[in-house]
Amino acid sequence: MKITVVGTGYVGLVTGTCLAETGNEVICVDIDAEKVAMMQQGNVPIYEPHLDVLFHRNIKAGRLKFTTSLEEGLSFGDIVFLALPTPEDEDGSADLSYILGVAEQIGGLITEYKVIVDKSTVPVGTAEKVVATIAKNAKVDFDVVSNPEFLREGFAVDDFLKPERIVVGSRSERAINLMKKLYNPFVRSGNPIIIMDEKSAELTKYAANSFLATKITFMNEIANFCEKVGADVDKVRIGMGTDSRIGKRFLFPGIGYGGSCFPKDVKALQKSGKDNGYDFEILDAVIEVNNVQKTILLPKIASYFEGKLEGKTIAIWGLAFKPETDDIREAPALYMIDELLSKGANVVAFDPEAIPNVKRKYNNEVSFSDSMYNVLENADALIISTEWSIFRTPDFNKVKELLNNPVIFDGRNLYDVDDMEKEGIQYISIGRKKVN
Ligand SMILES: NC(=O)c1ccc[n+]([C@@H]2O[C@H](COP(=O)([O-])OP(=O)(O)OC[C@H]3O[C@@H](n4cnc5c(N)ncnc54)[C@H](O)[C@@H]3O)[C@@H](O)[C@H]2O)c1
């Protein structure tokens, strides 16, 4: 099949590349000329494990192309994916200007039947708005399908190639048949393509992300309470998670959820509720608790330094909002950096992939190191904010030797509390007993 993907970011590029991998011809459109030139020269503009192999293979096979021209893109594909940003607007709602801006142009550019697919995360009712916007200028038939994406950054290629489910929201048989034909190669093991109406599909994505954000936040509150009463959240987590109704995943406490999806999606569902006369009280609490959780280590750090953070040098391991990505959108590390800088501390940071993105944001305010050990040299403390695998078994002798004080504030609970005690490291983590 011939496919067009409009918006070639984390979702669009993975979608385009994986669809090419199953033999489709794909053209990816992006407004960012620099990014398009980079891809045309054979360079992957983001860090996503395994994407590069598929990217190069499909370019070489002539199945994957890139352009800045929406007109060229629309004249190509039978199915047109919109993988455009839907960032948080000032009032918390999802900003639909990217989607509706492109929809406005689509109407005038299509000359034959197309299926337009909302792959972006969009509030209930967006498909209707996209239909109305395209219809203003369209002279040919078209269908708009809601097909929310559930891939996780860091596992995006695997998630796309082997999805647990595919949700297709449409009431057009013609569009549903085309979508099934496109996706059948990805569900050969029997995972479902779930067909529903557009609104239910749109809400499915927000409900899933908000539920996961709530699960994390609940565990963060349990962890905070563990500290008050001397319980160990790791024990509680395992005790709870073995109940199959609860499940083991998404129970790890930490310094709050971040990333390009959960924060904005929870807020967008909350706002969508308000707009429709419904108060999502549980989401109000989730947002509030998460805001505090992102900087929950700071009072502990301040107390360690007896309130005097000015002039202290704090090393940070991990800047990306989670491992295996260079994405720093809403990363808890950035909230900590802002607070530390505002208290007069110096920040030196290391991350395996995200340094270029953080550099762009902070200029010279933060120093960076290309090694997880070099960054510790003459630092007064270490904060761990992303659970990259390389941080899991460090050489603790080296860590102690390089740090001015043997103290680690771990926002991801990477190490065993007793092991740290044996190492002679003061170890402050989330929801577990402290080593004094
Ligand atoms: N990132 C994720 O893990 C993830 C997962 C599931 C769903 N989503 C949703 O998918 C959507 C896209 O997210 P993303 O992370 O890929 O965003 P992104 O910011 O990485 O990519 C968006 C791309 O769209 C391009 N763009 C902007 N305006 C354009 C225009 N007018 N024409 C062509 N291209 C344009 C940008 O240059 C950028 O390359 C969002 O709604 C997001 O919520 C994201």
The string of pLDDT tens digits covering residues 229-242 is 999 999 999 999 99
Query: For tokens 């209707």, what's the residue?
Result: 128
- The tokens describing 13, both together, are 């590029």
Catalytic residue among 18, 28, 226, 261: 261
Question: Residue 39: which H helix or E strand, with range?
Answer: helix 33-40
Closest residue by CA, ligand 1 atom 7: 149
381-384 and 313-317 strand pairing: parallel
The answer, yes or no, to whether residue 436 has pLDDT greater than 70, is no
Region of residue 291 (phi > 0: left; psi between -120 and 50: alpha; otherwise: beta): alpha
Nearest atom in ligand 1 to 101's CA? 31
Q: What is the pLDDT of residue 363?
A: 81
Question: Each residue of 65-90: pLDDT tens digit?
Answer: 999 999 999 999 999 999 999 999 99
**What confidence tier does 434 reach under pLDDT thresholds 50, 70, 90?**
low
Closest residue by CA, ligand 1 atom 33: 30
State which amino acid sits at residue 120.
Answer: S
Question: Each residue of 129-187: pLDDT tens digit?
Answer: 999 999 999 999 999 999 999 999 999 999 999 999 999 999 999 999 999 999 999 99
Furthest CA-CA distance within the chain: 74
User: Is 226 labeled as catalytic in the residue annotation?
Assistant: no
CA of 366 to the centre of ligand 1 (A): 28
Closest by CA to 11, choosing from 103, 146, 149, is: 149
Closest by CA to 170, choosing from 144, 148, 193, is: 144
The answer, yes or no, to whether residue 319 has pLDDT greater than 90, is yes
Closest residue by CA, ligand 1 atom 10: 120
The answer, yes or no, to whether residue 433 has pLDDT greater than 90, is no
pTM greater than 0.75: yes
CA of 9 to the centre of ligand 1 (A): 5
Residues having CB closer than 6 A to ligand 1 are: 6-12, 29-32, 35, 83-86, 98, 101-102, 120-121, 149, 151, 153, 260-261
Of the chain, the percentage scoring pLDDT greater than 90 comes to: 99
**What confidence tier does 435 reach under pLDDT thresholds 50, 70, 90?**
very low
Sign (positive or negative) of CA dihedral 336, 341, 343, 349: positive
Nearest atom in ligand 1 to 264's CA? 43
Closest residue by CA, ligand 1 atom 1: 10
Q: What's the rounded Cα separation, in Å, for the pair 270 and 280? A: 6
Of the chain, the percentage scoring pLDDT greater than 70 comes to: 99
